[in-house]
A and B are shown apart, each in its own frame.
Chain A
């Protein structure tokens, strides 16, 4: 089955597409990972990127990231209408993923979460370290939540979470 039939890409397929920054860069700073592979008419990511790291050659062209320029501001995570942009980094052996969040309950620092991968399978537990509500006027109102996990490899897999009671 092709990814478009299943509704998800595997990590290997995304690696082939060059979605992930090199590991040594991820160990240095927070970087954006854009899992937007189709040609659809959309450009908020490139419009909000203040460092010019996200480049769209045309309205319908998939975005290309210049990781050297990315400052990890998370604005694109809030702005992506398709919820396809994430931030990833590795610090002191822990993996971190920043994700957009539009569900209930409201995220709070220290909340334990169940980590979900692209298929919706539970792959472990993590902790919310930095929930922020981002908005620019009426545009891009959304929670942007960073979750910490023990296994840095998991940060390549985790794309959603469920807050545990």
Chain B
């Protein structure tokens, strides 16, 4: 008999989940209960399914890590289409989902022992040309990447776009920075298009149930998701701002000044814009430890998505790694959903890295905060059943003999973010690695321009708070309107106001390194810096 599991949260102190009507989906032929507004991954998770795919080489079980369409560990066959990122695909009644099995699955335990050379299906059998296709058919069966069915399944067209389009201002990424820029530019009368790869705008704001810091004039005192809803509403009121969701930017061609977008149902769209804003946010960092690919090891964003967007519990008892603000906030979100937090383990040495008040509010509910500790191993076979943590000596070396077991059924990694610079690079900017800003970032000028026609804002410019992303977005929106010849006489005033607010926001001792780093990578004229 199959035990009926339901991991959904029905009572939450802050949120009300709008799940929509009940539908049925089938996993490998087995019917499961789902709701219309859930993604496939969330629905499967709510039904207690932790294993989504297997790793290509050793066929190790994989669950998702990020839940926002970045990590590709959640790829499954959906309605006959292989390699669908289930965490960004909404369910439909009668949807058929299959795990991508291979003929080598039975051999999985041996593959690890034998240390086979990796199946580099990209490079093998490329010459002579005629053996490539038949060889690929066989190779794909080994890798578990799935294969397209003989007949392409008919998909009902739903709001895809096809063809070419030109606009004045194209914003890639509908998070706090992108949306704020769209609002400002839209109010100045700029013809704007904003795209996002999720089913709705909002980015990470939609997952934040805590009240924001910063100045009351901008965002403080409101819960993050409310702020997101507000921005979405402001955008919807502007006629000259067009929104495309479930659309990703997949390429930029500088010689033609064209960006290639991929919309729902494999539709493609070429967009020529006069100015671009890249506000693609960030990727989550992972941490190296044994078994860090077990289903049950998540990024902090993955846990937030499950918890606060879909209302699904990631587990009953978890541990957090890292003590930045993100890790501390996620522990609080877990407490609010009634999930036990077995500890916040931080490899940091001198202090809790986040704000003290965030640490204090979880500490007073009895969550242990353990600094100078890191995880060495996740326990469990097909899902996380525990973790081994160890104390660190100076310079980050584990102290032998201090290992101890912590019981938990999920591990949340919140050790920071890296700017998502993939799209930025296509504009041929000057990239530099800046640790204080989170990773690779482009040199930019005072108006946030990193190429002649492109701006940057938000976490992909520098890893910071949502409130600074909002201010940066507003500034870029105004600078772009000015550059496009649209701004009215209030623009310089507003620019001055937001710049001052941004400086104040970054005025705390927490941001000292960040301030210095930003000063170092900001140049007077971007054209000269790029020469």
Interfacial residues, chain A to chain B (CB-CB below 8 A): 2-9, 35-44, 47-48, 58-60, 79, 81-84, 102-104, 106, 116-121, 138-142, 159-160
CB distance A7 to B221 under 8 Å? no
- Chain B 341-368 interface mask (CB, 8 Å, partner A; 1/0): 0000000001110011111111111110
Question: A8, A59, A84, A140: which has the most chain B beta carbons within 10 Å?
Answer: A59
A to B CB contacts below 8 Å, 18 in the list: A5-B351, A6-B369, A8-B359, A8-B363, A9-B360, A41-B467, A41-B504, A42-B220, A43-B215, A60-B504, A82-B358, A103-B13, A116-B364, A117-B364, A120-B363, A138-B223, A138-B226, A140-B211
CB distance B13 to A43 under 8 Å? no
Cα distance A139–B142 when bound, in Å?
55
Cα distance A24–B360 when bound, in Å?
28
Nearest-CB residue, chain B, relative to A47:
B216
Known: A43-B216, A60-B508, A102-B14. A120 touches B360 (CB 8 A): no
Starting from the known contacts A44-B216, A81-B221, 14 additional A-B residue pairs (CB-CB under 8 Å) come to A4-B351, A7-B362, A35-B357, A38-B509, A39-B510, A41-B467, A43-B220, A47-B221, A79-B221, A82-B358, A118-B363, A119-B363, A138-B230, A141-B223
B120: interface (CB < 8 Å): no
Tell me which residues across on chain A come within 8 A of B335, comparing CB atoms: 103
A2 shortest CB reach to chain B, Å: 7
Known: A7-B363, A138-B230. A41 touches B508 (CB 8 A): yes
B210: interface (CB < 8 Å): yes
Nearest-CB residue, chain A, relative to B213:
A42
CB distance A121 to B366 under 8 Å? yes
B213 shortest CB reach to chain A, Å: 4
Cα distance A82–B446 when bound, in Å?
32
B404 shortest CB reach to chain A, Å: 19
- Chain B 216-255 interface mask (CB, 8 Å, partner A; 1/0): 1000111100100010000000000000000000000000
A134 shortest CB reach to chain B, Å: 11
Tell me which residues across on chain A come within 8 A of B509, comparing CB atoms: 38-39
Tell me which residues across on chain B come within 8 A of A117, comparing CB atoms: 364
CB distance B505 to A59 under 8 Å? yes
Nearest-CB residue, chain B, relative to A36:
B357
CB distance A104 to B507 under 8 Å? no
CB distance A81 to B504 under 8 Å? no
Interface of A is mostly: loop
Nearest-CB residue, chain A, relative to B510:
A40
Cα distance A47–B211 when bound, in Å?
15
CB distance A138 to B222 under 8 Å? yes
Known: A7-B352, A7-B359, A81-B221. A41 touches B366 (CB 8 A): no
Known: A38-B357, A41-B505. A81 touches B510 (CB 8 A): no
B338: interface (CB < 8 Å): yes
A106 shortest CB reach to chain B, Å: 8
Cα distance A117–B508 when bound, in Å?
28
- Chain B 321-355 interface mask (CB, 8 Å, partner A; 1/0): 00000000000000110100000000000111001
Cα distance A82–B221 when bound, in Å?
10
Cα distance A140–B14 when bound, in Å?
12
Known: A7-B359, A41-B504, A59-B505. A81 touches B364 (CB 8 A): no
CB distance A41 to B360 under 8 Å? no
- Chain B 3-43 interface mask (CB, 8 Å, partner A; 1/0): 00000000111100000000000000000000000000000
CB distance B504 to A104 under 8 Å? no
CB distance A2 to B360 under 8 Å? no
Known: A5-B352, A6-B369, A41-B505. A118 touches B360 (CB 8 A): yes
Cα distance A6–B362 when bound, in Å?
11
Cα distance A56–B362 when bound, in Å?
25
Nearest-CB residue, chain B, relative to A79:
B221
Cα distance A6–B351 when bound, in Å?
8
Cα distance A143–B166 when bound, in Å?
49
CB distance B350 to A103 under 8 Å? no
Nearest-CB residue, chain A, relative to B511:
A41
CB distance B350 to A5 under 8 Å? yes
CB distance B356 to A38 under 8 Å? yes
B506: interface (CB < 8 Å): yes
Tell me which residues across on chain A come within 8 A of B359, comparing CB atoms: 4, 7-8
CB distance A7 to B213 under 8 Å? no
B308: interface (CB < 8 Å): no
Closest 5 CB pairs of A and B: A82-B357, A120-B366, A7-B359, A7-B363, A81-B211
Question: B230, B355, B504: which has the most chain A beta carbons within 10 Å?
Answer: B355
CB distance B214 to A41 under 8 Å? yes
B132: interface (CB < 8 Å): no
B371: interface (CB < 8 Å): yes
CB distance A7 to B504 under 8 Å? no
Partner of A120, one of B12, B226, B356, B365: B365
